[in-house]
Structure formats: structure tokens, C-alpha cells
Structure 1
Amino acid sequence: MAARGRPRTFDPDTALRQALTVFWERGYEGTSLNDLAHAMGIASASIYACFGTKEDLFRKVMALYGATSGEPPRRALREQPTARAAIHAMLRATADEITRSDAPHYCMLILAAPTGAEENHPVREFLADLRRGMHVLIRDRLARGVTDGDLTAAPATLDAVARYYTTVVQGLSIQARDGADRTELETVITCAMAAWEALTRPPDQTRTR
């Protein structure tokens, strides 16, 4: 019988959560393999063997982030009964997540790798694709509102409205990173939702009479 390799002495799920904490605190470029090895309690060789390269590990970390901290805003979009309620709940869930006392105050999709060395361009594009995915989710929820009859916006305007609220989501993260607290973010959300009627009003109702 062939000899078996040495069994792992660490839990990959726990190690991945520890890697998430490091990437979240320091960003992609600010995190070294030594940082990861120290936080995860395993050797760099074990990181490569279990998770692949630093970029491979980061992509796995972002999948975990999406399933945990990134899930409440998406769940709000899915579960609220009307498009307006869904957008409002999504913004509030975003603000809740980025002002938690037990995590850094920003969204990893937006600020984990905003700029950096040319060799990290694939990571930035990976994050950009995830952000574009959020825009699509918002647009699809607006389109569902049209189908359900609770939103009367012209289909041609849905992409613009979705892009507006996607921009608000991203702005909330930057504001939180720069020190805005949950109450201050709520004032931004209130202003954003005050624009709802003007943004979604059918074109024939926007003309001056």
C-alpha cells in the first residue's frame, strides 16, 4: 500500500476565515504571505498546498465574504415585497455591515484593491466584476418591480436608476472608511430614497406643465 501524505493539522475553514480578517484589515497589496501564515497559524507551503497562490486565496476569501457580510444586502433585494422597499432595505443592510463593531468599516468589494501594482491588475478586475454583478442584481430587482406592477419606471431608465443606487452603495463604504457612523450613513440613505420618486417617475410625468 502506498504511504499516505501527512494529514493536515489545521482546519481549512478556520484558516480561510483568518485570512479574510487579514485581507479585510490590510487590503490585498498590504497583505503579505508572512502576514497570512502568521494569522492562519500555518506555513506558507501549507497555504500553497491548500489554497494555491495569494491571488487564489484572495478569491476564496472573497467568496466567503460574499456568503457572509455580503449576503444581507443581497437578501434584502430578494426578500422585500416591492422594489422601493428592496432598495431601501439593501442600503440599510449595507450601512449595518460596514459599521459593525467587530470588522473594518468598509466593503471589501470596493476598497480591498482600488489601485496598485500592474501585476495585481487581475485582482482589481476580479473585484470590478463583482461590483458589476451587484449593479446587475439591483437592475434585475428593479425590473422585477416593473413586472410585479409596483414600479412604473420606463424600462430604459432602469439601468440608470440601478447605477445611481450602486453608486450610493459604494459611497456609503467610502464614507464609513473615512469615519462616518451608522447615524450619519442613515442620513445619506434618507436623501437617496427621497430621490426615488423623481428617478422612477414615468417620462410623461416629468414634463413641466
Structure 2
Amino acid sequence: MEETRMGRPRAFDADAALEKAMVIFWEQGYEGASLTDLTEAMGISRKSMYAAFGNKEQLFRKALQRYTEGPGAYVSQALQAPTAREVATMFLAGSIRANTLPGWPTGCLGVQGALAVGKTGRIAHDTLTEWRAHGQAHLRERFQRAVEESDLPADADPDLIARFIMTIANGMAVQAAGGAEREDLRRVADTALRCWPPA
């Protein structure tokens, strides 16, 4: 069991508490998630939250990392696919699954977390903008490699393809949050992939 700085064991499961915080941020966004909402869901006091996770911004960053390694793990998995088209296919399919997981919030924490924010949410907005850009950069690098390996045509634009795939995925996240069914999103992904550059 983890210990606090004072050497006493924590009376709660930090991993479970972080996952509950992730769900609250996913459902309500950064600004919508109050400290009361967070601590009640986590089953801890504010003092315990600050001691274990830092302030709300630090907790959000940790929750986003948890999301990246959990529901969002499809990104790193897709990047390992052997061909560029399979990367795109797996990326969109993984996005659909993550956006429509039974028992979890719909949509994507990285998209919905800070779509509309005031001054107090700027840090979250900037954090998520950077998070999405990071994912797009990984796609761009992977597609650039595909061009170099002749898996994509020599005149293909890796940046444009990465931006296109990311835009489709982000749009599907918004659609999922609005109630779109998994099969509807699959049809969107299939339609998008029909625009794939010919070999």
C-alpha cells in the first residue's frame, strides 16, 4: 500500500480514485467538474486529494494520462500496424470503441474535456490542444515513414493525411457524445477510408 510523506498508509486506493476522477472529467469537462464532484466520486476529502494528486489542474493531467493509457491506448496500438492504411483503420476503429464503451461516458475526454472554457479552464484547454497535437504528430511521423517505405505514394502529404484522420476521429467523438450509435460511426469511418490515397 502506498504511503504518505508522514509514513502512514493511505486509507484509499489511489489508482481507483484517479480512475473515478478521470470519469468525472470525461463526463463533465474540466470546468464542469467541481472539486466537490471530484472528491465525492473519488471517496476522499479535499485534503487527501491535494496530498495525493495536487491541485485540480494536476489531477486533470494525471487523469488525462490515465485515459491515454486506458481507453485511449488504441492510439499507440494503431501506430504499430504494418501498413499506413491499417494504422488509419485501427486508429478510427479504436476511436469508435473508446467513444462508445458500455458503462463509460460517450465521446472522448481529449476532445470534450475543454471544448468551451472560461479563464479558469484555459490550462485544461491548452493541455488538451497539446494532447491532440501530440497524437496527430505521431500519425504524421508514421505516415511519413510510409512514404519513405513506398507504402504510401511519393506525392502523398503525411501531414494532411494525419490531420484528416484526426479530424474524422474528433468529429466522431462529438457525434458519439451527442448519441450517435457505434454502427453509424463505423459507416463514417468506412466512408472516410474510401478517400485513402491509391497505392
Give the equivalent residue in structure 2 for 1:128. 129
**Number of the residue aligned with 1:57:** 59
| Superposition deviation, residue 5 in structure 1 | 5.2
Report the Cα distance in structure 2 between the residues aligned to 1:111 and 1:127, rounded to whole angstroms.
9
Counterpart residue number, 1:18: 20
Deviation at 1:194, TM superposition (A): 0.5
**2:131 is equivalent to residue 144 of structure 1:** no
- Is 1:161 aligned to 2:161, yes or no? yes
The answer on whether the counterparts of 2:79 and 2:87 sit within 8 Å (CA) in structure 1 is yes
Aligned to 1:119: 120
- Quote the sequence identity (%): 37
Tell me, in whole angstroms, the C-alpha distance in 1 between the residues paired with 2:30 and 2:165: 26
How far has the Cα of 1:164 moved from its partner? 1.1
Partner of 2:3: none
Deviation at 1:86?
1.1
CA deviation map 1:22-78 (0-9, x unaligned): 111211111111111111111101101111101110100000000001111331122
Unpaired stretches in structure 1, ≥5 consecutive residues: 202-209
For 1:9, which of 2, 11, 14 is the aligned residue? 11
Residue of structure 2 in register with 1:102 after alignment: 103
Q: Over alpha carbons, which structure has the higher Rg?
A: 1
Answering whether residue 180 of structure 2 is matched by residue 180 of structure 1, we say yes
Alignment of 1:7-86 (within 5 A): 7-78=9-80, 80-86=81-87
Runs (4+) of structure 1 exceeding 4 A deviation are none
Higher relative contact order (CA 8 A, sep 6+): 2
Amino acid at match of 2:30: Y
